[in-house]
Chains A and B, each alone.
Chain A
Amino acid sequence: MFCHHGHIAEAGIIEHMAQSASAMAGYNCREAGKPVPVGFIGEVKKFTLNFLPKIEETMETTIKVVSEAMGITLINATTHVDGQVAASCQMKIFIREE
């Protein structure tokens, strides 16, 4: 659902970034033997789009955790295709402790 005319749409890149961050958070929780909580995007800031990746290209996304406090995680996300930055942003994620 995130593709358009042979490219991934902007919304698809942002969802990919959010999914990458949550996959990382979930993995870290499991490694630490903790239950995996539910996370929601609270804010997207400074999203900069350079180009839309094409279908069949591989997106590589780097997530850097900037801060974690009181159920709010701040991350920087950068998505590369073939070493070129396709898009980047800052994201605030709310963690719901079960």
Chain B
Amino acid sequence: MKLQDSYFTIRKISYPNSDTRHGRFKINLLADHPVYEGHFPGEPVCPGVCSLQMVKECAQIMAHEKFLISYIKQYRLLEVMAPQKNPELMVEIHLEQGEKEGTGIIYKMKASGCALGKPEMKFFEISAELSPVR
């Protein structure tokens, strides 16, 4: 399952404080992805799980690792997101490497997504743990 370049494209990645653990992704949603044929017919709405996968793919680019989402503390969906109404997003990701007993290295991730240039229009917030796949 890879959504980059079919469901979304990354226009720009920036690291505001020259800190590679804090990334900002300017994202374009692609409204012609086949998922919208079913979700929903005549009313394209971004599936919540696709945002989750999209954030994971962005985090993988930041960390140069492949991840499994091993734990989601909380994933809140705050507004209905639609590829035609909101084609441009800003996704912000904070990653912190840590260790967990028994499972080894994990990354704690905090992420959010909003409409580009409209931080008040926040679509989702994620607090999760990612396990590197080697």
Contact = CB atoms under 8 A, between A and B. Distances in A.
Contacts of A14: 48-49, 52
A46 interface: yes
Given A40-B80, A49-B69, A52-B68, A11 B74 contact: no
Contacts of B50: 11
Interface of B: 1-2, 34-35, 47-50, 52-53, 56, 68-77, 80, 128
Nearest to A49: B70
B49 A43 contact: no
Given A3-B1, A49-B71, 17 more contacts: A1-B35, A2-B1, A4-B1, A9-B1, A10-B53, A11-B49, A11-B52, A11-B53, A14-B48, A18-B49, A40-B77, A42-B77, A43-B74, A45-B73, A45-B75, A46-B71, A47-B72
Interface residues of A, number: 23
B48 A47 contact: no
Given A10-B69, A11-B52, A40-B80, A45 B74 contact: yes
Given A1-B1, A9-B53, A14-B49, A45 B80 contact: no
Contacts, number: 65
Interface of A: 1-4, 9-12, 14-15, 18, 40-49, 52, 89
Contacts of A41: 48, 77
B53 A43 contact: no
Contacts of B53: 9-11
Contacts of A18: 48-49
A40 B9 CA distance: 25
Contacts of A4: 1-2
B127 to A, nearest CB: 10
